[in-house]
Structure 1
Amino acid sequence: MFDEIIIEHTNKNIDEVIYYWEKKQIAIKDCLITKTLKILRENNYIKDHYKIIVNKNIPVSSGLGGGSSNAASIVKALIKTNKKFKPNKKLIDILHNISSDMIFFLYDYDYAIVKNFGKKVKKHKFKNELKFDILLTKINCETSNVFKTFDTLNLKNLKKSSIKKELTKIKKKQYNLLVNNLLVACLNTYPSISEIYNRINKEDQNYLLSGSGGTFFKISEVL
């Protein structure tokens, strides 16, 4: 599943970003692409303005990183086509301030260990290839709303896991024990997501929440 992006130069003094979902134009709140281009220009990484068309196949606000991956893909394209645009630590810091997920998407890794709130990305390889079955709920979950609930419920005191523990669970195929600390916040923020989760959990306890929701996924090994 991936979005399709068309990037063109424009003579206008403003960036134009147009999104389509199922061939219909849609509005995107807090567009990461517009924000990224603006900040890159302010820091002299680019000078031009662009017209960008995004044909969405990844649902909006689904917890699958569509917005961050779109913005990162555009940065990668600009780096590739502009010799003066060179990635460095300053650029990583700038992009991380826009979206903590964006740094991961700058790399072409199938799997990675991500630390330091998204800043440190290390390539990882599993012994066996993993398969992901995705369950789309078609319910938009705003990340900011989920984190507000997370803070309101004081969920930061939840028992924390570690990367080592989570990797061990995957190695032992204990996928249903994997932890997403945003699950409780998401279910409390969006009752409709909670209903879906309770329903699928009765039949299959291996489904996990992706990001801040509202997509669920199940892991298995490719035989």
Structure 2
Amino acid sequence: MVAKSYAKINLFLKIVGKTQINNTSYHLLQSRFMRVASLYDTLGFNFNAKEFSLVGDFDCLTEQNTIYKAFIVLLPYVSKEQVKALNHTQIVVQKKIPSGGGLGGGSSNAACFLQVVNRELNLGLDKATLMEIGAKVGSDVPFFISDLELANVEGRGEIITPYNAESKFDIEVITPNVHCSTAEVFRLYAKEFYSTSAIVQTQMESWLQKSNAEILNNNAFSNNDLLKPLLRLHSELESYCQKGVFLSGSGSCFWKKCNAIEYAAKHKEAQ
């Protein structure tokens, strides 16, 4: 069987604090995610393979792949018979979502894997448990498991609140040929841009209550706290910072709103 693994964009991304978990420091965020229906990877599943395997053009070792990580984290949640079934699963991945672009491709792949094997192999896990598993794989995975098109996201990404789906809009994704490291961007942000006074100001601005129209009226720097450290690391991306163009997540991809006619024409060209 074949399943679609969709991309997402961040309408905004604001850092609102830090936390320590198992002696590891994490940034706490507030963001709004929107699923991108026109951009997705394709995952093909074979449940009669000799062993668990991944096939695809990946830019990392198998052990670092989010699907493999999801497979490993999933095992303690299922029975011995279900583990046997999982061990005969092959996943063939066709990538369309740019790696390092801030569009959540790896997280989406992990979520898609968890949802499909849960359904097709009758693992019997509810959505809350799948989201718990997903959170151990990556911060964006719970959003994709939620199946929401538009949601406010908090904490490290595990707190998901539906947002008015009727306020979604068509976008064009802009994909520079640049791979950005999330870890490097956050590391530089923590070192040179993190400010307690800025955090207090951000919390007072009530970003989660802002309408999409308000967000679209801002500039890219106001909407995404990671844009400045990103440009420090990749100055070649500065030319994309134009009016009405916004950064998604911590990667190199930008997006802009487009009307229905523009969207239809762009989507037709891509087919």
The alpha-carbon deviation at position 122 of structure 1 amounts to 1.9
Q: 2:71 aligns with which of 26, 37, 42?
A: 37
Find the counterpart in structure 2 of residue 171 from structure 1: 213
Give the whole-Å Cα distance in 2 for the aligned partners of 1:176 and 1:167.
Answer: 18
User: Quick one: which amino acid aligns to residue 211 of structure 1?
Assistant: G
Q: Please give the TM-score of this superposition, normalised by the length of structure 1.
A: 0.82
Give ranges in structure 1 of 5+ residues lacking alignment.
Answer: 21-25
Residue identity matched to 1:168:
K
> Which residue does 1:17 correspond to in 2?
54
Amino acid at match of 1:56: K
Identify if the C-alpha distance between structure 1 residues 140 and 165 changes in structure 2 by more than 3 Å, giving closer, same or farther: same
Q: 2: distance between equivalents of 1:200 and 1:189?
A: 15
| Partner AA of 1:212 in structure 2 | S
Higher relative contact order (CA 8 A, sep 6+): 2
**Alpha-carbon distance between aligned partners in 2 of 1:159 and 1:207, rounded to the nearest angstrom:** 23
Q: Which has the higher strand share?
A: 2
Give the partner amino acid of 1:174: N
Q: Does 1:28 align with 2:60?
A: yes
- Which residue of 1 is the match for residue 250 of structure 2? 212
| Identity within the alignment, % | 22
- Tell me the secondary structure at the aligned position of residue 153 of structure 2: strand
Q: Distance in 1 between matches of 2:259 and 2:198?
A: 28
Match for residue 4 of structure 1? 42
Amino acid at match of 2:73: I
Deviation at 1:51, TM superposition (A): 1.3
In the alignment, is the contact (CA less than 8 A) between 2:153 and 2:159 conserved in 1? Answer: yes
Q: Which residue of 2 aligns with 1:62?
A: 101
Following TM superposition, by how much is the alpha carbon of 1:89 offset from its aligned partner in structure 2, in angstroms? 4.4
Count of residues in correspondence between the two structures? 210
Equivalent residue number for residue 94 of structure 1: 133
TM-score normalised per structure 2? 0.68
**Which amino acid is 1:27 matched to?**
D
Q: 1:181 aligns with which of 225, 244, 269?
A: 225
Task: Specify the alignment match of 1:71 in structure 2.
Answer: 110
Distance 1:158 1:189 in 2: 24
Q: Is the 8 A contact 1:78 1:85 kept in 2?
A: no
Counterpart-to-counterpart distance in 1, 2:153 and 2:187: 23
State whether residues 63 and 214 of structure 1, in contact with CA within 8 Å, keep that contact through their aligned partners in structure 2: yes
Cα RMSD after superposing both structures: 2.5
